[in-house]
């Protein structure tokens, strides 16, 4: 099993076996995460910078915890104190980080392509923790991990993604990743929330009728409606959105008995779903996704720092 990536920026550059390696490794780290002492010395002496140029609590916490459990030294560099805010260019900021002799940069940025720019200007490994509306590969990997734990295989698995697909970096990685693994993807939402070319992401079907496609699905992935970011009002009201695209107790009877519900969090009760579905003990795997995030991020960091440029092909 060879794993020869230095960066995790564009999930489309990963093969199905690369992704399986990450998932298998994540499973090994899951064992670590269930111990009393949830820490291994694997990345002792490695310095990882969490460069979050956009506010994020959850993703950053997940990365930070993953870093700590791998014994890496992590530095949070971002927020309102960043140089970028003060007018320094991204490239100059990266040059500064390089002087700290770092081994990895985890970057969240509101601009698509920023992780790529960073990777061009640093000898360190780069993980994209979400860039603009482009990609969020570790989110896709944790989603895949969760689905894999429940469904064992992706082959022919029918996954429906509901909501704001057009403005979603989660979809930018998740749809291609699901396709790489052999799943069948349906995008569901109003035209105002669709990307210009769903086929370019890899979607097999597009629908505006949740009730119509729900009976087919093995996995329903509800995207977060960003209440704070509804520029240009893509739908008339949250009430109407919930009526058309919300996963409700009433709609459960349309679902297969073993269909699971995913959500990248944080959830909006009463928008993406009602509390019955959000808390559904058999179907809702939302908290498992959060747990998977730690395992997958530990795996990605372990594989990137170990796999890149080591000159060995095991």
Binding site for another protein (CB under 8 A): 1-3, 9-10, 21, 24-25, 27-28, 30-32, 35-37, 39-42, 70, 89-91, 109, 111-114, 116-117, 131-135, 169, 172, 195-198, 200-201, 302-303, 305-307, 310, 312, 314
- In the chain, the largest separation of any two C-alpha atoms, in whole Å, equals 58
Give the three-class secondary structure for 127: strand
Distances (CA, A) of 259 to 19, 185, 244, 262: 23, 14, 20, 10
Instruction: Tell me how far, at minimum, the Cβ of 11 lies from another protein, in Å.
Output: 11
Pick the closer one to another protein by CB: 26 or 49.
26
Numbered residues of the known binding site for carbamoyl phosphate: 58-59, 108, 136, 139, 265-266
Instruction: Tell me how far, at minimum, the Cβ of 135 lies from another protein, in Å.
Output: 7
**In the block, which residue shows the tokens 């950053």?**
60
Tell me the backbone φ, ψ of residue 154, rounded to 5 degrees: -105, -10
Angle at 11 between CA 7 and CA 267, to 5 degrees: 110
Pick the closer one to another protein by CB: 232 or 257.
232
Pick the closer one to another protein by CB: 187 or 260.
187
Numbered residues of the known binding site: 58-59, 86, 108, 136, 139, 169, 224, 265-266
Pick the closer one to another protein by CB: 114 or 159.
114
Instruction: Tell me how far, at minimum, the Cβ of 130 lies from another protein, in Å.
Output: 10
* Nearest partner of 52 among 111, 106, 4, 127, judged by Cα: 106
Instruction: Tell me how far, at minimum, the Cβ of 43 lies from another protein, in Å.
Output: 9
- Strands 205-207 and 184-188, by their bridges, are parallel
User: 204 with 184: CB under 8 angstroms?
Assistant: yes
Give the three-class secondary structure for 248: coil
Instruction: Tell me how far, at minimum, the Cβ of 309 lies from another protein, in Å.
Output: 10
Pick the closer one to another protein by CB: 108 or 283.
108
Numbered residues of the known binding site for L-aspartate: 86, 169, 224
Tokens standing for 85?
A: 């805010």
């Amino acid at each position: 099993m060879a794993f020869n990536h230095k960066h995790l920026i564009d999930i489309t550059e990963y093969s199905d076996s690369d992704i399986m390696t990450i998932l298998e490794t994540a499973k090994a780290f899951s064992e670590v995460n269930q111990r009393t002492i949830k820490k291994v010395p694997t990345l002792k002496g490695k310095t990882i910078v969490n460069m979050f140029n956009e506010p994020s609590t959850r993703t950053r916490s997940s990365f930070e915890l993953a870093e700590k459990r791998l014994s890496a030294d992590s530095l949070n560099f971002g927020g309102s104190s960043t140089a970028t805010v003060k007018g320094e260019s991204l490239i100059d900021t990266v040059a500064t980080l390089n002087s700290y002799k770092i081994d990895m940069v985890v970057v969240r940025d509101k601009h698509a392509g920023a992780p790529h720019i960073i990777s061009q200007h640093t000898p360190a490994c780069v993980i994209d923790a979400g860039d603009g509306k482009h990609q969020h590969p570790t989110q896709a990997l944790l989603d895949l991990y969760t689905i894999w734990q429940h469904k064992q295989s992706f082959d022919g698995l029918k996954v429906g993604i509901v909501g704001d697909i057009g403005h979603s970096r989660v979809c930018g990685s998740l749809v291609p990743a699901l396709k790489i693994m052999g799943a069948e993807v349906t995008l569901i939402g109003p035209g105002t929330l669709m990307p210009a070319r769903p086929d370019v992401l890899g979607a097999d079907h597009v629908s505006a009728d949740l009730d119509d496609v729900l009976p087919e699905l093995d996995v329903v992935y509800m995207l977060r409606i960003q209440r704070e970011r509804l520029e240009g009002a893509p739908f008339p009201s949250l009430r109407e959105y919930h009526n058309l695209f919300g996963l409700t107790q009433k709609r459960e009877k349309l679902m297969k008995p073993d269909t699971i519900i995913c959500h990248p969090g944080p959830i909006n009760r009463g928008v993406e779903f009602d509390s019955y579905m959000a808390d559904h003990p058999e179907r809702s795997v939302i908290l498992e996704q959060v747990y998977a995030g730690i395992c997958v991020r530990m795996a990605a960091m372990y594989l990137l720092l170990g796999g890149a440029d080591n000159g060995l092909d095991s």
